[in-house]
Amino acid sequence: MSGSSLWFAFSRFVAETANEVEQEYVLETVGPTPGVSGFMPKLAVPIPITEDGQWNGGLFGANAVPAIVKLERDNYPGLLALEELSYRYHREAGFPVPKTWLKTLEHHGEAVTLLAVERFDRKDGVPVPLESFFSLLKTGSPAKYFGTTDGTMEDAAKVFTVLNLPAGMRDDWYRRFVMSFLTGNGDLHLENMAILGGAGSCGLSPVFDPAPMRAYRGGRNKHDLLSALPFAGIGGDERLDGYLPYSASGETPTNLGKLLVDFGKSIGIDPRRSRDFIAGLLVKTEGFREEALAVLESLPEARRRYRAPDVDGFAKTLGEARQAIEATFAKTRGRGEGRETAQPLAENIPLVSTGTHSGTVVAVLEDRVIQHVGQGKQVAHARGLFQALPEVGARIEVRYRDGVLKVVEPVASGKGKER
């Protein structure tokens, strides 16, 4: 049987619909316990990589590397493409990220999507110790940690102190947390953070499982968490009394940026460094929303079943989170002893008054509107020139004629309407 036939056999194996031939094939190929625990069906198998770094969907063979291969579930269409997108943005933002390969295979007219992630807990074929934050915290306080969303982010940060890890690792972990808000990942729980390596040489593991689960907010409440763990007095699992307003409801606090800076300060990060981290990640994620929505909107209607992605809801979630971080950040940077400096996010963005500019509104600040116009470029428009302020996330075309600003909202036909 081919590689594609194995993946289809495995998909039916985990769904308990495989016939006897398919069951035997899976067991003979990958052993009696083929699955890896987790939300998505997974296999831990070596995959052959070509000389140019590609994977064709096969297993074993020459130049094989150890990998975890996820299989997309029918009721979460597009999730693996979103996760691959998130991996790419984390990589471009400077985080350590394993190699990944997204592949869609066909078998007898059916398609299956796979995401292979190279294992970072193997070196020259030898396992490297890997412990999740959940395991570490539960070992120290078994009565406190029963689930992966128990405790708080402040509690989780104690891992760096107990293990006497460098402050730079804690900073990297903090940046990953900020990144989760900008990529719609409310699933950063204790099992999705880990320490890699043995005594005397351990450190924070590369990024893994950065899935933007908030795109599937219609499926169950836990997909639409602001954050899996509480921080700065908000967020967390809906089971935790006192954190409901910004968890299961999916609401975004308007002072999210300030709360992230406050959280950083509580774990020993100077507010100025926190603000620098946030500013850098805002720049690095400028195009994420548009690319993520393009992935979901490209899905055939036939695949949007069960917990079909909530495209409009996800667009709103990403827009609100970004606006809350940008706006609050702009208002709070440099504040201290009764003074306030210029807005950091807008100060290096050119204020335009001529030409035509098309793209997404990424922030509405006190004196200007920031628009992403592609290729990592942003422009600013004077807020006072708008007759009606656009919403964050709206795709608009701004035209200047004789010093007058006009807004055109694109419609499905490709034309637009002025306002």
Q: Which two tokens stand for residue 57?
A: 């969907």
Cβ pair 302, 233 in contact under 8 A:
no
Give CA–CA dist 157/268, Å, rounded: 10
Q: What's the half-sphere exposure (Cβ side, CA atoms, 13 Å) at 371? A: 24
Distance CA 189, CA 209 (A): 10
- The whole-number pLDDT of residue 1 equals 43
Distance CA 227, CA 129 (A): 27
pLDDT of residue 33: 53
Tell me, letter by letter, the H, E, C secondary structure of 177-190: HHHHHHCCCCCCCH
pLDDT, tens digit only, all 419 positions of the chain? 456 777 777 776 666 666 677 667 666 666 655 555 556 788 888 999 999 999 988 888 888 999 999 988 877 899 999 999 999 999 999 999 999 999 998 877 778 899 999 999 999 889 999 999 999 999 988 888 888 888 899 999 999 999 999 999 999 999 999 999 999 998 899 999 999 998 778 999 999 999 999 998 765 556 778 898 999 988 876 554 444 444 444 578 888 999 999 999 999 999 988 988 998 899 899 899 999 999 999 988 766 665 578 888 899 899 999 989 987 655 443 333 333 333 444 456 778 989 999 988 877 777 788 888 876 678 889 888 988 888 877 788 999 988 789 998 653 334 444 44
Domains and CATH numbers, the chain: 3-118 (no CATH), 126-332 (1.10.1070), 349-418 (2.40.50)
Q: What's residue 94's pLDDT?
A: 93
Residue 226 gets which letter from DSSP?
S
Q: Contact 245/233 with Cβ under 8 angstroms?
A: no
Q: Which residue do the tokens 């050119």 mark? A: 350
User: How many helices (H) and strands (E) in the chain?
Assistant: 12, 15
What is the C-alpha separation between 124 and 140, in angstroms, rounded?
A: 32
- Cβ neighbors of 333 (< 8 A, separation 6 or more) are 275, 279, 341, 343, 344
Place of tokens 């709070």: 332
Query: Are 84 and 117 within 8 A, CB to CB?
Result: no
What gap in Å lies between CA 9 and CA 13, rounded to an integer?
6
Strand 110-118 with 100-107, pairing: antiparallel
pLDDT at 241: 44
297 backbone dihedrals φ, ψ, rounded to 5°: -70, -20
Across the beta sheet with 130-132, the strand order is 130-132, 194-196, 203-204
Rounded to 5 degrees, φ, ψ at 124 are 55, 40
Q: Is 400 helix (H, G, I), strand (E, B) or coil?
A: strand
Strands 416-418 and 404-410: antiparallel
pLDDT score, position 155: 95
Q: How far apart are CA 406 and CA 419, in angstroms?
A: 7
**Looking at the DSSP assignment, which residues form a beta bridge with residue 336?**
339
Q: Please compute Rg for the chain using Cα positions.
A: 23
Nearest 10 degrees: CA dihedral of 264, 268, 274, 277? -100
